[in-house]
Structure formats: C-alpha cells, structure tokens
Structure 1
Amino acid sequence: MRSEPLTWPPVAAQAASLLEEAADLLVLHRDFAAAVERCEAGCDSLGPGSGTSPVPESSAEVKCSLCVVGIQALAEMNRWREVLSWVLQYYQLPERLPPKVLELCILLYSKVKEPQVMLEVGSSWLRDQTNRGLPEYGGLLELCLLHVLLPLGRFKEAEELVRSCDLLDSEQQQTFLGAICESRRQWAQREEMHSAAEEQEDTATETLLGALSQKLLTVLTLLRRALRSMSSHLCLLPYKKMLLATFLLYLVVVRLDPASPTSLPFIYKLVQLFRQAWAAVFSPVHRSPVKD
C-alpha cells in the first residue's frame, strides 16, 4: 500500500501526499482550517478539471478524495454555505462533479434544510448523457428525488426526470412514480392543514379585533356623553360670575405682589371676596354674601 503512490505521476503523488496530511488534520488533530488548506493546495496542484481534456484516473481519484475531505472540514467549521462554490471552483461545471462529491453535497444541504441549493446542480448532473452511463447514476437519481425535488414540491420535474431515464426498467419507474405520487398527496394534505390553520387564525384575529373595536366604541361614546354633560353644565353658568372669578384669579396670581407688607390686608379682603364669588358661581344653592 505504501509503494502504490510511487507509480503515480509526480503531480498526482504530490497531491496524494497533501491528501494524507489533510486526512490526518481532519481526523486526528481536528484542525479543520489546516485540512482545508491542504485540500486546496492539492486541488490547485492538479489543475482545473473542465472536462475538455482527459484526466488521468489516478489524478481524478485523488482530486475527488481531496474534495471529500474538504467538504467534511468545511461542514465541521459550520461553513456549509461555501461548500458548493468551493467544489465548483475545481470542477467548473456541475455535470463534471464526481458522484461521491455530488452525493455529499446533496446530503449536506438536505441536512441543513437548504435543498434548493442543489436543485439546479442535481438536475444538470442527472440530465447529462455522460453521467447516465455511470453505475452510481441510479442511486444519485433516487437521492436527488428524495432529498431535493420532492421536499421542494417539484413533482412535475421529478416525473419528467424519471420518465426520460432509459436506464430504469418499468418496475423501477413505477416505484419512483409511486413515491412521487405519495409525496404529492402528503404535500397536498399539509397544504390543506396549513390553510385551515391560517383560516382559524384569521377568524380568531377578526374576533379579537371586533371585541376591541366594540370596547373602544363604548369608551368613546361614554367620553362624548361626559364632555357633552360638562359643556352643558358650563354653559349654564352666568357669564358675569365667570368673568368675575377669572378677574379675581388674575389679580391674585399675576398683578398682586404677595411679598409686599401693604398688600396683606388687601389680600385678606381679596381672598374673602374670591371665596364668595367662587361659592356663588359653583354652588347650586344661592347663599347670601358673608359680611366682614
């Protein structure tokens, strides 16, 4: 096992050495950032895999393994949002992703409840004629259906994908179509339950708003009656008495200096007069003025 990398091309051997370091950093040392750095260095040494030129099998295997380790390290650092873009920078086209890398990406984004990220990538990979000849195609088709298309409610697209696949026999197609039909039924049932819950919530909200509106209307009606009663009572007060009370209050508060000694007798008489005026204005029964 130790002599096998010696038969590889120098570039692949260097990448394999980086792969071994990355695996040790991931599993043994739990240094995920350093593991990602080793994976990036190994992939960069192998060059971009655009699919336009044949790639040695050894280099392709090492590159795939480097991406697998890198995906796991990024996930451990909770950097799963970077995984797809990080992988595509080394393969450029979604159709060129190795089956193992595509499988890990689908499972990862399904686990974090973001299957829509893999929708376009998975569909492009499955529709590629070259990939249909791979032995992993059937498993990836099922994986994409269960973890991407069906959770997103893409039932029509899933049916078209199954019916257009010549690699599936009639029994396999019926199995997949049955799973799609069952998923559609469950989806519709959840939608009905969700709609019913929303209707109940809207009804409860309308009832609450109606009760609050009724209470507010009652309070406003009582307030209007109170204001009307106060205004009617004030309008019944004689105009001259109101004017006298206002004038006396003005003299006490504004014009008179309470600190002056000469003003004390006058203040006393003025207060007495003010009390008489106040009693005459606001007392319901007329009382004779108090004599000094």
Structure 2
Amino acid sequence: MKSDSASPAAALGLWGPVRSSEPARAAPAAAAAAALLEDAADLLVVHLDFRAALRTCERAWRSLAGDQAAAYVLGSAPFRSAGSSLEVKGSLCVVGIQALAEMNRWREVLSWVLQYYQVPEKLPPKVLELCVLLYSKMQEPGAVLEVVSAWLQDPDNQGLPEYRALAELHLQRVLLPLGYLSEAEELVVGSAAFSEEERLDVLQDIRKAKQQQKHQHLGSEEAQKLNQEGSFSHKFLSLMMLFRRLWDSIVSHFFSMPFKKSLLAALILCLLVVRFDPASPSSLPFLYKLAQLFHRIQEGMFSLYRLPVHD
C-alpha cells in the first residue's frame, strides 16, 4: 500500500521501529507473540501492508490470551513472564494503532484497544497517550474523555511516572478544548502530580478561559435577543402589510360597486352595527325618512336624463 504523509499516523509521528526484546526463556506463547510482533512491525514499516500488520497483531493477541487461559486451567503460574508479556502487549497495541490510522480507520482505535484490555484503567500509559494524541489531532477529543478520566482516577495509576504527563496531556488536549473548565480545575487542584507553581499557572489559565467563555456566552445571548426582536418586528410589519392590503381591497371593492348598491350596503351595515329593529316603533320614523331620502336621490338622478333638449 502507498503511504500517505498526511495520514493520522504520519501527522502524529507514530512511525518508528517497534521491536521486542523477549528473552529466550519466556513462555512459548509469549515467545510466539514476540515473533509475530516482529512480523507485524516489518509489515507496517517496511512493506507498508497495514491490513496484514493489523491481522498479525490480532493473531498475536489471541496467542497471548490462549496461553493465559491455559495457565489458569492447569493451575500454573500465569505471570511467570508477566513483565515481558505486558511489554509485548503494549507494543502490539502501538503497531495496531499505527495500522488503523494509516488505513484511515482511526475512529476504531479506542474500541480496538479496549477489546483486549477490557477496562480503561488497565491501559498502558504509552497506548493511552497515543489515543489522546490521535483523537485530539483529528479534532474529536471527546471520544477519549471518559477513558482518560477513569485512568487518572485509578489509585494504581497515580503512582506511575507517566501519570503527570498524561494528566497534563488530558488537561491541554481534552478538557480545555472541550470547554470543561470545572473538571480541569478539579484535576489540577486534586492531583499531586503538579507542583505548586505549575498548579498556580494552570489555574490562572483556567480562569482566563472561564472569563472568555463567559463573554462568549453573553455575546451569544445578546445576539439571540437581537435576532428574536428582529424576528418579531419582521412579523409585525408583515401583519400590518397584510391588513393594509386587505383594507385596500375592501375599499376598492366598495367604490367599484354601483351607487344604489353602495347605499344598500351602507343601510345593511348600519342595521347590523347599530342593531335597529325594523318592528320597533322608534325605528319607523328613521326608516320612513331613509326611504324618502332614497326616493329623492332616485328622482334627482333620473331628472338629469329628463331635461329638455334645446335646438
């Protein structure tokens, strides 16, 4: 396969010779796994066959798991070569991570590693560091948030020499980019890995980040409020335009009606609005005068057509 310099593994600088120093007196399964590790490293670095390198790592892992299960069944000491086996396991994970990254399958790295170590607290520091660097480089640090937090909280890991480096890496590459400032402050205050001077510097950076986050939050609230006001104004203007068009339509329709129909519509509107009762005695004079007014208007209009024509 062709190696891409822009791949996640190359960008992280994961390339490098991975060799095992397994002693000859180790258990047969561990020795076989160490030999497979050599083959996987050659396939990865020399032949650039990333898929074959990953398969070789998985075969070595199955060999180690079968040897440990057989040791438990036979009642023998399963950890007679525990140090060398752990070293081989960690090296196999490093090769597997590089192979997955080169095949652009970096999203599978964390689940692939955890299927062999079962719990995050048992991950080797070097393997966990590579996972943090990889997901941070690919701008998805949230994927390793819970795993690294669980590893840092484990009492057995807090005495390791790599603990401080991983705590600082988790702070700079995961918590701060995600905006988890309270969690970052708790980590710095509650961890003995930081000196007093380092703790004060980190807490000052966290306070600055909190102020910046607060200003951004206030700015977003003001922008949202302005957007809501603008939306309300736009809706109000649209409603007023709709009412104006409706009124113009009613007025134009009213004035387009004939004169007699207009008067009749006005009479009906008057009866509906004022609610005159035609049967009421008090309404009779009004209706009589209104009828006379109609007759006078009608006679006036027709008299225009009956004027004598002079030669």
| TM-score calculated relative to the size of structure 2 | 0.65
Q: Name the CA distance, whole Å, in 2 between partners of 1:195 and 1:61.
A: 53
Q: Name the CA distance, whole Å, in 2 between partners of 1:227 and 1:99.
A: 84
> SS at the partner of 2:213?
helix
Q: Name the CA distance, whole Å, in 1 between partners of 2:260 and 2:93.
A: 90
Question: Which deviates more, 158-167 or 93-102?
Answer: 158-167
Equivalent position of 2:83 in the other structure: 57
Equivalent position of 1:154 in the other structure: 180
Q: Name the CA distance, whole Å, in 2 between partners of 1:3 and 1:39.
A: 13
Structure 1 residue 14 corresponds to structure 2 residue 32: yes
> SS at the partner of 2:161?
coil
Equivalent position of 2:42 in the other structure: 24
> SS at the partner of 1:150?
helix
The number of equivalent residue pairs is: 236
Q: Name the CA distance, whole Å, in 2 between partners of 1:3 and 1:23.
A: 10
Equivalent position of 1:201 in the other structure: 227
Equivalent position of 2:269 in the other structure: none
Aligned in 2, Cα 1:76/1:192: closer, same or farther, shift over 3 Å?
Answer: farther
Equivalent position of 1:168 in the other structure: 194
Equivalent position of 1:214 in the other structure: 240
Equivalent position of 1:41 in the other structure: 59
Letter in 2 for 1:107: L
Say whether the 8 Å CA contact 2:19–2:41 is kept in structure 1: no
Aligned in 2, Cα 1:186/1:32: closer, same or farther, shift over 3 Å?
Answer: farther
Q: Name the CA distance, whole Å, in 1 between partners of 2:145 and 2:127.
A: 15
| Aligned with residue 185 of structure 1, among 194, 203, 211 | 211
> SS at the partner of 1:133?
coil
Structure 1 residue 96 corresponds to structure 2 residue 122: yes
Q: Name the CA distance, whole Å, in 2 between partners of 1:138 and 1:25.
A: 34
Equivalent position of 1:112 in the other structure: 138
Say whether the 8 Å CA contact 2:22–2:84 is kept in structure 1: no
Q: What does residue range 123-138 of structure 1 map to in structure 2 within 5 Å?
A: 123-138=149-164
Letter in 1 for 2:184: A
Aligned in 2, Cα 1:223/1:142: closer, same or farther, shift over 3 Å?
Answer: same
Displacement of 1:137 after TM fit? 0.6
Aligned in 2, Cα 1:164/1:39: closer, same or farther, shift over 3 Å?
Answer: same
Q: Which has the higher contact order (CA 8 A, sep 6+)?
A: 2
Say whether the 8 Å CA contact 2:50–2:103 is kept in structure 1: yes
> SS at the partner of 2:224?
helix
| Aligned with residue 75 of structure 1, among 80, 101, 107 | 101
Aligned in 2, Cα 1:2/1:191: closer, same or farther, shift over 3 Å?
Answer: closer
The runs of 5 or more residues in structure 1 that have no matched partner are 238-285, 287-292
Letter in 2 for 1:101: V
Question: Which deviates more, 205-214 or 54-63?
Answer: 205-214
Aligned in 2, Cα 1:201/1:72: closer, same or farther, shift over 3 Å?
Answer: farther
Q: Name the CA distance, whole Å, in 2 between partners of 1:210 and 1:135.
A: 66
Letter in 2 for 1:42: A
Query: Cα RMSD over matched residues?
Result: 3.2
Q: Name the CA distance, whole Å, in 2 between partners of 1:133 and 1:178.
A: 26
Q: Name the CA distance, whole Å, in 2 between partners of 1:79 and 1:210.
A: 53
Letter in 2 for 1:45: S
Letter in 2 for 1:38: T
Aligned in 2, Cα 1:191/1:59: closer, same or farther, shift over 3 Å?
Answer: same
Displacement of 1:172 after TM fit? 2.5
Letter in 1 for 2:39: E
Q: What does residue range 278-289 of structure 1 map to in structure 2 within 5 Å?
A: none
Displacement of 1:110 after TM fit? 2.0
1:120-166 Cα shifts (integer Å, max 9, x gaps): 21111111111111111111001111122222332222222222223
The runs of 5 or more residues in structure 2 that have no matched partner are 1-17, 73-77, 263-304, 306-311
| TM-score calculated relative to the size of structure 1 | 0.69
Q: Name the CA distance, whole Å, in 2 between partners of 1:187 and 1:179.
A: 12
